[in-house]
Amino acid sequence: MQKVTRFLLKNFVEWTENILHLIYPNVCLVCENEISKFEKDVCGICVENLKYTAFEKYEDASSLDKLFWGRIQIEKTFAMLYFEKGNQTQTILHQIKYKGKQELGEKMGELMGQKLLVNPSNICGIDALIPVPLHLKKMHTRGYNQSEVISNGLSKILNIPTKLDFLTRIVHSESQTKKGRFMRWDNIEEAFFVNENQDNFKHIAIIDDVITTGSTLESCMKMIKEKYPEMKISVFSLAVTK
């Protein structure tokens, strides 16, 4: 009897899934073609055809390395996708950032992890992944930090923990008189606080969603270096502008 119930239940679940699939077909967020119920968010063809940088295989300096030349010392830089206005990367970033597609963000993080592992020296000695903290106001309205979601995907593949308590974004209403040596107020949106290095990290990787001018990252890394001059810093981003 139990067997029959289980059989019926299994069939019922499958039926419901199929009917739901008919009513709300699963559509690829990039090409808008229908995708099977086994795929999610972006179809396999679109994932394959994303604008990959192939930076993970570079022996010479990449455009991302050059972006930071003369600004700050970075161990390793990596961005998986090229971002251009109107391209697939923009669609994916938009979905992750504004449309609540956290699962897609995590999937992209996993993909980044697989690319990085092509050359194990890419991640050599990294103790922790530190997502760029979201401005608190945005965190409040959006409910999650896209860089953290990407970092979680990376952590899964690289087996390096994502740490959220090392870097904090500061509320700009906080009294200016309280500002310490390790806070920077060049730009109110870019104020960070570097917390105590309780885990004794020697090498961290900052995780970002997209790098354009690199100025947010630069001020963030400068603050870390001010407080911990010996700490090595790498930067891994889902995308970089071309």
Shortest distance, CB of residue 92 to Zn ion, whole angstroms? 11
Shortest distance, CB of residue 113 to Zn ion, whole angstroms? 22
Shortest distance, CB of residue 31 to Zn ion, whole angstroms? 3
The count of residues interacting with Zn ion (CB under 5 A) is 5
Give yes or no for residue 221 binding Zn ion (CB under 5 A): no
Q: What is the dihedral of CA 169, 80, 241, 44, to 10 degrees?
A: -110
Shortest distance, CB of residue 211 to Zn ion, whole angstroms? 25
Angle between helices 88-98 and 146-158 (to 10 degrees): 110
Give yes or no for residue 28 binding Zn ion (CB under 5 A): yes
Rounded Cα gap, residues 92 and 133, in angstroms: 20
Q: Of 5, 15, 30, 200, which one interacts with Zn ion (CB under 5 A)?
A: 30
In sequence order, the 6+-apart residues with CB closer than 8 A to the CB of 210 are 83, 89, 93, 237, 238, 239, 240, 241
Chain residues 34-73 in contact with Zn ion, contact rule CB under 5 A: 43, 46
30 vs 204, beta carbon nearer Zn ion: 30
Q: Distance of alpha carbon 123 from its chain centroid, rounded?
A: 16
Which residue(s) pair with 192 in the sheet?
169
6 vs 21, beta carbon nearer Zn ion: 21
Where do contacts with Zn ion occur on this chain (CB under 5 A)? 28, 30-31, 43, 46
